[in-house]
Amino acid sequence: MSEAVATLAEGKANKQLIEMLLRSRLFRDYETVFTKATGRALALRPKEYWQLAHHGKKNENPFCALLAENPGTLAVCLQAHEQMIQHTGDIPHTVTCPFGLTETAVPVRLGTETIGYLRIGQVFRRSPTSEDTKKVSQKLESHGLRFSKQVRNAWEHNPLIPPEQYGAIVRLLTFFADQLSALINQIVLEKQNVEPLMVQKARAYIAAHKNEPLNLSAVAQAAGASVFHFCKVFHKTTGLKFTDYVARVRLEDARTQLLNPNRRISEIAYDVGFQSLTQFNRMFKRVFGQSPTEFRAHPLSSSNKSSKPKATRGIEQPYKVGSPSLH
């Protein structure tokens, strides 16, 4: 199967899973309560979604709706959307779009893979200044949308949610994303029956010996299979190669230990089973989107810990293309 065909198949599968969640009572009830409580639209979209997340929804931001009607500004919005998704890993990612509005993507996962995102935002996190208005006016007109009275009125009436309140909303959605992830994992597991006993034994063996040197042959033997058969089934079941799975189990352990400020990073790296501090730092950054030092300085930004660690591409940072940053 070619890479392009595989990507299309994955996208179709993700879309079907998200559609199942959209039809669930859990999502429908939460969306209703969320919208009534905040007045903001909540969207759940598959990972492969190339349109504006809130377009056409009942509580869509009027300013953003106007942007969507103009090809030039729509292209800018879609680019900002793509950048946000590219930098969202297993924790929420928040950006400020080129037109000064904050948006956040909260991942929903099937096992170790992200299949979609809860999307909120289209709000200010601080009151815009006259200088902000001037910059946005110039930005709009440079992309073919005149800053008319209608557009200006929509801009000036964009909703404002202060940073502390917005952060609380994101945290609540993180908990909800965990519930959705648990639901879709349960549904898929029921369809696929239970995980092969071989993989269950391997997981248990790895968990018990994760701080020791782990040999593929020894794990395969503990699972009761040949190395070839074990690697094939393990990869198909977990979506990870054996070495990647072991590394991520160790990194999850390390992330917990980093919360203890009295422990040195080098000690933690060796304690969890890494033979090189450089390798530990590189893998930690690749998987969680932060260096161990950055995580220790800002642990709350990575508070959404999954039971199965996965690759993480980024953390919250403003997306800027010559745009005002309205945090």
- The domain defined by 3-189 carries CATH number 3.40.1620: no
Residue 86: predicted pLDDT: 81
Residue 6: predicted pLDDT: 52
For the cut 50, the answer to whether the pLDDT of residue 314 exceeds it is no
Alpha carbon 233 to its chain's center: 27
For the cut 90, the answer to whether the pLDDT of residue 268 exceeds it is yes
Lowest-pLDDT range of 133-137, 192-196, 215-219, 235-239: 192-196
Residue 166: predicted pLDDT: 93
Residue 123: predicted pLDDT: 92
Angstrom distance (rounded) from CA 249 to CA 214: 12
Residue range 192-219: average pLDDT?
87
Strand 93-96, strand 102-110: pairing: antiparallel
For the cut 50, the answer to whether the pLDDT of residue 313 exceeds it is no
User: pLDDT tens, 2-61?
Assistant: 554 455 567 788 888 999 999 999 999 999 999 888 888 899 999 888 777 877 777 788
For the cut 90, the answer to whether the pLDDT of residue 324 exceeds it is no
Query: Hey, where are the domains in the chain?
Result: 3-189, 195-299
Q: How confident is the model at residue 186 (pLDDT cuts 50, 70, 90)?
A: confident
Side by side, the strands of the sheet bearing 102-110 are: 43-46, 113-123, 102-110, 93-96
The pTM assigned to this predicted structure is 0.56
Please give the class, per CATH, of domain 195-299: mainly alpha
